[in-house]
Structure formats: structure tokens, C-alpha cells
A and B are shown apart, each in its own frame.
Chain A
Amino acid sequence: MNQRFQVSSSPHTRSTISTSAIMFMVALALMPSCVAGVLFFGEHALVVLVLSAASSVGTEYIYEKLLHKPVTVKDGSALVTGLLIGMNMPPAIDWWIPCVGSVFAIVVIKQLYGGIGQNFMNPALGARCFLLISFAGKMANFTTGTGMIGIVTQVPATTDALSGATPLAYLKTGQLFDLRSLFFGNTAGCIGETSALALLAGGLFLVAMKIIRLRIPGAYLGTFALLTLITALLRGYPSPAVYTLQQLCAGGLMLGAWFMATDYVTSPITAMGQIVYGVLLGILTWVFRMVGTGAEGVSYAILFCNLLVPIIERYTRPVAAGVAGQSREAKRLMREKEKEAKRLKAADRKEKPV
């Protein structure tokens, strides 16, 4: 009976969920939007998606090999980052641009800050903004290739025609676009952002699988919808409700709300914090879209709020169960007890000869 057994501290059992399972589930949830993008924009979209995903995973592998770190590509987070970068590219983008973005996302935003879990900013969004600044012309060119099904509904020519190639820019003028195209996705835009239906399906799949909670997307979309509705009413736009729905489906809002804002690493960990974060995102996106002039409302709103996460977490820390529920009287008694104990301790110390 001198058998020795494994010793560890409790608990001695663990749930089956793992980081890589979560990441592959997210990648799976992105698939409907990727498929929609390829269907609407043609093979080149597929090339962009594959290249950005592959370059992202490849960069992480090479970086970690070169620096003799444990290789973490198996956890799937680089794959998700790469896919998101590809989805954030205009359909006619040069093939090498998403690759540059992937390298930037993995090396500068993720690995230099310590790898998975340490980045303070969503890598895919950081890369998108880096590319927007570096290759402004190419990143804003939304001429579409020929898709495999249907025809992309073009935005009516306006005075703002040059920059107004996407429905979002068109909506900015207060006019209505076609809600059906916006919902199904046969409009101009980035590869993975146009189909609200596919994004919604993916997002709800993640909620159903308990990968994400409704708090962030709910608070985000809800706040934004409410503010937009009020603005539309105040500005006297025709049919404000439809206008609000079109704003919700247009641009990168759906992609951002379900897949970028919910990124674990760069969103608050506390329940209250997640709601605050969502509300802030809604307000900022509304400001950027309805008040400001820039087109990148969602991207900048999320990046900005990423920076606020530590502060949000700090001020939304939950109060421990047994402490929160105490009546005012009980709390007062507890404080007094503590003070008395401190006083006695101080008195003790004085009495002791030094």
C-alpha cells in the first residue's frame, strides 16, 4: 500500500471548455458572413479571406519560433484575427494589403504586448485602422467584383458620389436606402460586413453556445438604435423607424457589435462593466455617424472604448455577495466593530515596551 497518487489543490475536475474551443466556435460563427461575402463579391473575396487568415496564423507561428516562445497558433485566436481582418477589407483590395494588416495585428498589437490575453486593443480593428491610414485610397474603394449570385444594389448617384459608394455614406444624407439589400447584404461594403442576416445568425449562435453574453451587443445596438431614432425624429427624416433599422444594418455595426466589441480580452470582465461598455459604444458610434463626418464610426468607437476598459472595470467591480446585501444598520455596526478593533490594536502597540 505504498502507492503514490497525484496531489493537487481542489477542484480536481474541470469543465471541458477551452480557449481553443471558444476560438474555433467564433471562427465557425464567422463562416455565414464569409460565405455571404464570397457569394456577393466573387472569388477575389475568398482569396482575400484565405490570405489574411493564413498570413495571420503564419506570422504568429514564425514570430514565436524566432523568439523561441511556445507556439500558440493552435489556440485559434490568430485564425479569428486573420478572418476578421479579411472580413474588414473592401472586396477589390490588393491581395497583399490584408497580409500587411495581419502582420501588424499579430506582431505589433498582439505579440509585442505579450501575446494572447495581453493586448489592450482588438488586433483586427487596430490593423484595419492602421491600413485605413496607410492606404486610404485603396481601403475606401468599394467598387465590387461580380458576385456569384444576385447583383449588388448600387447606391444612387448623389452629389457626394465620390466618397459615397457605400450605403452608410448615403444614409448620412438622411435619405433611405433599400432595407432588404442591407439586411441580406447585396450592397457595397467590406467583404464580411454587408450581410446583417449572416452576422446576426453568427452572433446568436455564439449567444446560444454561451460563448458570448447578450450584454455588450444588446447595450450597444440598443443605445445606438434609440439615439438614432431620436435624431431621425428631431431632424424630420422620412420614416424614422425604417431609417433606424437601415442604420443598424449598414456599415460595420453588426460585425462590430457581435464580433469585435465582444472580444473577451478587450472588453470589461464585470457584468455591469459590459453594459456600461456597450452603452458607451452606442453613444460614440452615434456621435461618429450622425454628428461627425468620418465614416469609420464603429471602428473608432470600439478602439476608443478598448482603451477605457481598465477604468470601466475598476468602477464597476461587483460588491461581494455577503457585503452587498447587508442593511445600512448592519454595515454601520460592522464598521464600528472594525474601528474598535483597530483602536484596541493601536492601544496594545502603545502599551508594549519598544
Chain B
Amino acid sequence: MKKFTFRGGVHPYEGKELTAELPLKTLEPGRELAFLVSQHIGAPAVPSVKKGDHVLAGQLLAEAGGFVSARVFSSVSGTVKGIEKRRSAKGDLVDAVIVENDGLYEHVSYDPLPGMEKYIEAYDTPHGTGWEAIQNVSPRSAGEVLDLVRPDEVLSKLSGEQVLSRIREAGVVGMGGAGFPAHVKYAPSDPDKIDYILINGSECEPYVTCDYRLLCDRPGELIAGLKAILKLFGHVQGVFCIEDNKPRAIETLQEALRTEETIFVAPCRTKYPEGAERSLIKAITRRDVNSKMLPADAGCIVVNVSTAYAVFEAVYLGKPDFMRIMTVSGDAAASPGNFLVPTGMYYSDVIQGAGGFRQIPEKLISGGPMMGFAQGSIEGVVTKTSSALTAFTHDLVSRIQETPCINCGRCVDACPAHLVPSHLAEMARTNRLDEFTDNYGMECVNCGSCSWSCPAKRPLAALIFQGRQTVLDRKRNARK
């Protein structure tokens, strides 16, 4: 079997065996939920409800604040308590619509496409009958789902613009981490130049298994979702890119896609950061993308697995993007697992629902240990881009002693962007920013492979990130 890969990268401990094969469960939110108005890249959404309003699950809370922006929806029914500041995963305080959960989970009536009745009957349990019934989390086979949905027939009655507007109305954003609004990403300036839609099922981040669960449990929906995206372009190929440490997912999709002509499965060699957009494009298509380009400039659009699922729900069922799968893992989590959680749920409620801590962790990370954000406290809330919460009893980083660089070159070998991280870090540290940009410092993707591989335990990625931020700030100030 041909396996796709790229130059550079590292092999950190994966830790996926903790949760990979655990079935999906649902987590009931607490009495209060907070919906950040900025769960995406671009302008923050503008709240369209006011204190005292009664809202239903799936009801609009905040309208998109511009073209590059996305709508925010409520995930529960209840009363709006106001607009307050809440802490985001990155640590800053952001406006959030606070909703008091009435525990009834009544939802607005969605607008499914004609022809979806059978699917809804089979899988969508009626809402408003308590939390347990809100979503059916048992695995679904691709064959059955595709028989019920019949994506080709359903989509043939729809125009590209209609698909795009359904995605926009549902507030779908890239759920892999960056949160780029999907309706902007799927409408590049020249759609004819797009050759590949890459479904990013690499999930190279250690400990995170939420995308793996979707690939195994919802393959039919993912294929249907991808077909909706393919509908937007002329001659494109859809590719499921999956690392070879997930053989079951590869087999499941290969089996489901046997008769498809334009959708393929591309097994990738397991290596961090396979799932980074530029690494993935390079591995699959051998095309190059740099910091001044969008993937669309190289004829590619990269779609996270969770996003493809959200697209399915948005286009076929008319359901807004307000639920997601989240992995709770790490050695401090009492019972690690994969959970279907509503956005707006507090991290504290997520941890409690998942069985709490086995031991008070030293470190709590929103995301995985390679690129996740360390949380100072447990104040955060689930957003569309929260893929995992990982908790560790032992924090290595606060204990390690930094020693001088010995020029060993491990960071150079590890860098997927082919940089010389140790030199760049030194330039950033000593504020030699012109030299920093001349040596391609701005091409760093912040994957952290350099810091991970450094035997002197130097914080290379952090220094380079600082350098990049300073350069960007200066540019921004110069423009003003």
C-alpha cells in the first residue's frame, strides 16, 4: 500500500489507546452555558438576543459580524442571562452570550432537504424528551446511511449557491482548530482551479481521538458531507487522508468508497504534524504552500473531519453547528473517553461529566499536548473548535532545565517547514527581526516539533512564535 508522507516531523508518544476504541457518549451540560461570540477567525459575531429572551436549542444567538465571520447558535433551550466576559481557550476574555439551561432541550424546527425523512426517522430521536434522547450516539454503518440519504439524488436538486448558503446559515467553521468560516473557505476566488478536497483525518495530535470516532462511527455522513462540498466545484477529487495508525478507519472508508469514482482514501504515514495543512497538502499532492498563500492557491481545500460532519448536518438536515465530539483524556482524567458535547458547556462541567479528575492535574490542556493551550484554571468553555481536554498529573515542561544549544541539528531534521529553528529562535530572542524574516521565520507553522526534539530542552517554538508575532505587530502598526 502506498503511503503518503512529507519531510521532517517527529514521533511523540501518541496516547490514543486510552480513548480510541471507547464508544461515544453524551455529556449533559450544567445549569449555565456560555457561547463565545468569537469561536472562529475573523470578525466576532454580533449578539442578536438580549437579556431575558427565551431561546431554543438551535436558535441564533449572534449574527455573523462580517463576511469572514460565523453565526453562533444556542445548544440548549433556556433564558438569556446577559452578555458577559468569559475566558477563551487561549486565555483572553471574550464576550459571551450566557444562557440558563431549562433542562428541557426543546429545539427549533430545522429545515431538512426533501428526501431526508427516512434518515431522520431512523436516527434522529425527537428532542425535548430529556438529555439522554438528544442524540443517538451508536455507530452507523456507511452503507445503511448512504442508502437512506442518497446524497447524489438529494444534491442534484440543489445548486452550488444553495449548498454554500446552507453552510453559512448554519455557522459552520473549520473545527480542526483555526476555526476559519467554512463558507469563506469553500468559495475561493477561482473555484475552477481547485483540484482536491482533502478531508483531514490525520489527527496527528497525541491523545485526541474525536475525528477517529467520527471516521469509524459516521462514515456515511462524512461521505455525504464531502459530496456536498464537491458539489461546489467543477472537476475535483475528494480524498480522505488518514494516518496508518488508524487501520480500522482506513478499511471502513475504503469499503464504503469502493464504487465511488471521485472519492479516495489516502493512507498517510503516521508522523506529527501530518495533519498540519501544509504538510498534508505536500504529502498528498506534492504541492507547496507557503505563508503568503492559501491552500486554494495550490488547488486544495483542506477540511477537518468534524467540519465535514457539521457540513452534512447543515446541508442535509438544516441543523446549525452547535454540537461537537470532544476527547477527554490524559492520566489525570478518571475515565477518559469521547463525548458528544454541546458548545457553550463549561470545561468544569465537561470534566465532571466525564468522571472528574482521578488526581488533581498539574496541567490542563485545551487540545492535545503538542499544539493545545495550557489552561491556568478550569474556566474555559467548549467552542466549535474544542477537540479535546487533556489533563496530566505531571507537568514535564515546568520541571525541565534549559541548557545551552549544542547545535545537534535535531530541530532542523524535525522541522516540516525546512527551517533552522535553533538559529531562528536565537534571532527572535535577540530581536534581530530582519534577519528572522530573511531566514524564512514567517514560514513557521508553530507545530512545536523543534521544541519537542531538542535535547537541550530549549523553548524554540515559543521563541519563534514570539518573533513572528512581533513581526506581524510591526507590519500592522506600519499600516496604521
Residue ranges of A at the interface with B (Cβ–Cβ < 8 Å): 1-15, 17-19, 21-22, 72, 75, 77, 114-118, 213, 264-265, 267, 269-271, 274, 313, 317-326, 334, 337, 345
Contact = CB atoms under 8 A, between A and B. Distances in A.
B454 to A, nearest CB: 8
Contacts of A334: 292
Instruction: Name which of B407, B420, B478 has the most chain A CB atoms within 10 A of its CB.
Output: B407
Task: Give the contact-size bracket for chain B.
Answer: 35 or more
Interface in B387-412: 392, 395-398, 400, 403-410, 412
| Residue with the greatest number of chain A CB neighbours at <10 A, chosen from B278, B293, B404 | B404
Prevailing SS type, chain B contact patch: loop
B367 to A, nearest CB: 8
A5 B456 contact: no
Interface string B446-480: 10100111111101011001000000000000110
B418 A264 contact: no
Nearest to B6: A321
A325 B410 CA distance: 23
A69 to B, nearest CB: 12
Contact of A14 (B423, B443, B457): B457
B289 A322 contact: yes
B282 A321 contact: yes
Interface of B: 7-8, 10, 12-13, 91, 206, 278, 282, 287-293, 348, 360-365, 369-378, 392, 395-398, 400, 403-410, 412-413, 416-420, 422-423, 439-440, 443, 446, 448, 451-457, 459, 461-462, 465, 478-479
Nearest to A117: B404
B412 A269 contact: yes
A17 B440 CA distance: 27
A117 B377 contact: no
Nearest to A13: B369
A311 to B, nearest CB: 14
B363 A12 contact: yes
Contacts of B373: 10
Leading 8 A-B pairs by shortest Cβ distance? A322-B290, A325-B288, A11-B448, A320-B440, A117-B404, A320-B443, A9-B462, A13-B369
Nearest to A75: B403
A265 B443 contact: no
Contacts of A322: 278, 288-291, 293, 417, 443
Contacts of A114: 404
7 contacts: A8-B398, A12-B372, A13-B369, A13-B452, A14-B454, A264-B409, A345-B479
Contacts of B453: 15, 17
B376 A22 contact: no
Contacts of A118: 404
A118 B407 CA distance: 9
